[in-house]
Amino acid sequence: MSSLALALADGAVVAKRNLIKITRVPEVLIWTTMSPIMFVLLFAYVFGGSIEIAGADYKEYLMAGIFAQTVIFGSTFTGAGLAEDMTKGIIDRFRSLPISKAAVLIGRTGSDIFYNAISIAVMSLTGLAVGWRIRTSLAEAIAGLLLLLLFSYAVSWIMAYVGLKVSSVEVVNNASFMFIMPLVFIANTFVPSDNLPGPLRTFAEWNPISALAQAVRELFGNTGSNPPADVWSLQNPVLYTLISVAAILAVFVPLSIRQYGKAAAR
């Protein structure tokens, strides 16, 4: 069996271990599902009444942005989980086992897809309740959901690197917040990037999260008559998102595996 196949097989075992933890700490899953409901209701009813999007229903425009925000914040489970394992000495136990170095990271990032899938399901139901609708085919809708999970998986490798680099769960949460908040809000997640001034507008137009939100809007048929900004990244949002995913994985998969070796050797 190849080293990749062994790493995937070992990673599946680690992923199973992470998922079993849900039954022991159900509060994590409860708050994972409550947060999306809160964001949908907050933005739809508190801010939605004061924001107008030309040619589109704001609730439909909004949902893609909330989907993107939630799965990206959901990827922080990876960093927090690894930091917790580091502080509790579980990583040392893994080191004593004849498993691939990549297995722990593959298992951690893989199992956290489950959390994001649950969040997406809850958000979808909440969105339908407040008036959001998918206006394209089933295949396009599924493609939009898969794109969200793929992007969140890529970001989880960034969080894995952060979780192995710092010393505690608290630091991971604070560092993740400082990193994610500007990316999420300096984007077209909640308002079109045209509304932003100068340099912020340029940043938002090339921000991969803007492309993700725009891609999901198009795949769900939620763009209305509001055209995207006249830049390549938003004119080709699906392709730009896939390029971003490939670039993130190409950089942070080897970095995270290398950092795991260093962290485990402390």
The structural domains of the chain, with segments of one domain joined by +, span 3-264
Confirm if 37 and 121 have CB atoms less than 8 A apart. Answer: no
Contact residues for 235 (Cβ-Cβ < 8 A; gap 6+): 228
Q: Are 70 and 62 in contact (CB under 8 A)?
A: no
Q: Give the Cα separation of 141 and 132 in Å (integer).
A: 13
User: Residue 164 carries which side chain, given as an amino acid letter?
Assistant: L
Give the closest residue to 80 by CA, choosing from 44, 126, 32, 12.
Answer: 32
Q: Is the dihedral of CA 137, 138, 144, 147 positive or negative?
A: negative
Query: pTM for the complete prediction?
Result: 0.88
pLDDT at 225: 64
Residue 264: pLDDT band (50, 70, 90) is: low
pLDDT digits (tens, 9 = 90+) for 122-166: 889 888 988 888 999 999 999 999 999 999 999 999 999 988 887
Per-residue pLDDT at 167: 67
pLDDT in tens, 222-260: 887 666 778 999 999 999 999 999 999 999 999 998 888
